[in-house]
Amino acid sequence: MIKIGDFWVNIGSYTDLTKLFLGEASKYLLLFLFSVLAIRLWRKLSGLSGKNRQSYLSMACLATAIALVIGYFSIYSSLSRLYLYYGTKAFNSGNLGSACFLFDKSSEYWMSADAVGKEGVCLLLSGKVDNGLRLIEQAKILRKGQSSTFEEFYEGLYYFFAEQSDKAIPFLEDASADPDYIWRVTKAFAVLYVDNHQYANAARLMEPYTQVEVVDEYQAYVVASLKLFAGKKSESKMLVDKFESENLMPFWKSRFDKLRAQIQNQINR
């Protein structure tokens, strides 16, 4: 992310969009050129005879065949990218079922590492762990041993919520190289520090974000814990009251319940 005037621009997204535009434009420009060449060669045939006609016929057939091949693969590649785009939008909206279907359709038209990996993440987060991990590994193989930060982040997040921090930490560390995931990875590591009563380390991680509004369970749990550690019981309790509910996933409910009990114990002293 860089700031231009009053606006923040995501350089990674901008670069991806530029690559997509140039890639699609180059394919269809090449298709256009070979199509024009084929048409001109076929038109030229009507006024030729003998060896010249045979030569032009061969070139016209070759240009036509190349144009058809480029057109076939261009259309399938574009359809794959279209499904990948809408699948990503569905994923970002929290519609895992729709996203998984769209990523699968993308792979039907053109198997790309991104579509396979993102479908694997959807399956992983939907509870179909074995199939999800298999597809994520397949995506890694397609990239010749490389994983995307998207896959690393969500695989790390899966292990994080499964209370397997030893497996989660390497994935989250790798994902933190991507600016899109730095803040979320920071919050996850701060949670792990709080869980291990390493409040100084958690405070150090969160220090650059002290003015950021508390909007999710990660941040609420960490900030409330740090406030309680600093003796600010009432401020800690306000955060717990705001975010604790019966609808919390078990991972967070157990932590907020424990934190509330700690607050109450300090109040009763």
3-state SS, 5-31, equals CCEEECHHHHHHHHHHHHHHHHHHHHH
CA–CA gap between residue 28 and residue 75 (Å, rounded): 9
The answer to whether 107 touches 80, Cβ cutoff 8 Å, is: yes
Q: What amino acid is encoded at 134 in this protein? A: R
pLDDT in tens, 20-74: 666 677 787 887 888 888 888 888 777 666 677 788 788 888 888 988 888 888 8
Neighbours of 31 (CB within 10 A): 20
Note the pTM of the prediction, 2 decimals.
Answer: 0.81
The answer to whether 143 touches 121, Cβ cutoff 8 Å, is: no
pLDDT in tens, 101-128: 999 999 999 999 999 999 999 999 999 9
Tokens, residue 75:
């259309």
- Residue 2's DSSP bridge partners are 9
pLDDT of 149 reads: 95
Mean pLDDT of 243-267: 89
